[in-house]
Structure 1
Amino acid sequence: MAQSPKQEFALPDPEALQRDDARRKEPAEQSAEGSVAEVLARNHDQLMQGDGVVMVGEGEDEIGRPAIVVGVKSRQQLAGVPRQIEGVRVMGWVVGEVDALGNPPRR
């Protein structure tokens, strides 16, 4: 039986990890057209007019990068949420019905 070559494991460079972490914690990632807040401000009204959209705001994607968050009533309405706007990632969330005034649901 032939022995397989020895595999070596290298620990990550702590300085590289700190640089990556610092980049992830930047307040607002810049797109070609501006910050997440600026892109959201320009597109807020159009996003709110989407089918089933109940909220839009700033948030983070799966790995902590700044993104635009769009909340919709049902899973089927996620298909209408764009993946990206002006170079900024858009995250669609199913949040259901939203009533800021606390009124009982209509039947």
Structure 2
Amino acid sequence: MASLVHALRDLISSILETISAIFTAAYDLIAGTLHGIFSFCIGVVNLALETLQGTLNAMGGVGKFIISNFVVIAVVGLAAFVFLTYQRSQGRPVVVGNKKLN
């Protein structure tokens, strides 16, 4: 009779371990996939930053000066565009000299 009790206990234990292994495998699959996607995205960003840094190092001081001037001009142009768009949305005409641009 004791062997029957041991056999049933082992059977139930095996079933529970199988169910636990299925859930563990599913969790590991999902976690591994998400980790892989996250690592890929971080790797792409790092690649872009290291490429930009290498390019700037190769260009030297003159290249950095030219790129920084380009960035400043782009920011000023964007600010002017936003200001003019805001002026037009408020109903105020944009005047350059004696001419209205609206």
Note whether the superposition's TM-score is higher than 0.5: no
Taking structure 1 as the reference length, what is the TM-score of the superposition?
0.24
**Which structure carries more helix by proportion?**
2
TM-score norm. by structure 2 comes to 0.25
Higher strand share: 1
